Amino acid sequence: MNLSKENEELLKNLETLIERTYEVEKEFIELKNILNGVIEFLPHALWVIDENGEIVASNSKTKEFDFIPNEGEIEINDKVYLIRTSKIENKKIISATDITEQKRNERLISMGQMAAHLAHEIRNPAASISILLSLLKKECPNNELIEEAKSAIFRIERIIKSTLLFSKGLKLNKKNFYLSELKKDLDEIIKYYSFSKEIEFIFFLPDIEITADYDLILLVLQNMVINAIDAIEEDEKEEGIVEILYDKNKNYHIINIYDSGKEIEDKNILFTPFKSTKTKGNGLGLALSKEIIEAHNGKIELSKEKKGFRIYLPI
């Protein structure tokens, strides 16, 4: 009788132990899932390695790698990663943080500083040459070589101005002006820019008053028009058209810039400084234009209707 009661008590304890074991196993699985979730949530690739060199845990970001990296900086598929390692008991933890943007910014700062220094060095002799050409033009008013030289100096001066603006940063000087005022300056700029093909320019900039930095908005449109001319020059057709057309919606003045020139080859680098899709480009025009428009709380984007760009300036 007593043995039976002992057996019953033992069986009951055994059942309780089994139930608790299942509960512990369930809690362990939940804890493991939470841990895997935390590892997956981390912004960098992560491996957990045991003493035998076997991977006991990792997240999906490690798929970028076909090997376990060593500590330091490595470059894979145009991305730069910083690799760090640490140890917890007998496990080694390896992390790979994407520092591509940081490296890109460091390079841009370095390139910007170098470009600004070169721009300062070039500015004075370029100005002297421009003055000498103006004097020479008075003596030989119809000389084509002088016109070509003035066009080349204009290009140099434009590059210098863009480089210095990009390296020093923008300071807006807003004022009220009519969009139509920009047309006269754009027409004058076109005269100084040499091109060999028949190009029709259609500028619809109405007498609508806006508040913005006139010189900087003119520089943006100048960059756009010159890019359009270069695209037509690089195209197989012997003629082309450049259009600047005004539109608006409830919130924005919209300036559309279209051209019939060569298609853009790599849209991913369009607004990246010092990278250009053109043979003549230095990669600053569009990057600076984007910076100028965003400084006005506007935006610039590729047009979906025709080849070109749309500029949005807040009303």
Q: The domain at 2-97 falls in which architecture?
A: 2-Layer Sandwich (3.30)
Whole-number average pLDDT of the chain: 82
Res 1: pLDDT: 46
Q: Which two tokens stand for residue 123?
A: 């500015």
Fold observed for domain 171-315? Heat Shock Protein 90 (3.30.565)
For the stretch 112-168, pLDDT in tens is 677 666 666 777 777 787 788 788 878 787 777 777 777 677 777 767 777 667 666
**pTM greater than 0.75 (yes/no):** no
Distance CA 308, CA 190 (A): 18
Q: Where are the alpha helices (DSSP H) in the chain?
A: 2-41, 100-139, 144-168, 180-192, 214-234, 285-295
Contacts 24+ apart (CB under 8 A), 93-98: 93/46, 93/47, 93/48, 93/49, 94/46, 94/47, 94/49, 94/68, 94/69, 95/42, 95/44, 95/45, 95/46, 96/44, 96/45, 96/46, 96/61, 96/62, 96/64, 96/65, 96/69, 97/43, 97/44, 98/44
pLDDT bracket for residue 46 (50, 70, 90) = confident
Distance CA 216, CA 165 (A): 10
Q: Which two tokens stand for residue 136?
A: 């020479």
For the chain, domain boundaries: 2-97, 99-169, 171-315
Q: The domain at 99-169 falls in which architecture?
A: Orthogonal Bundle (1.10)
Res 167: pLDDT: 66
pLDDT bracket for residue 217 (50, 70, 90) = very high
- 139 burial (CB, 10 Å; 0-12 / 13-18 / 19+) is exposed
CATH topology identical between 2-97 and 99-169: no
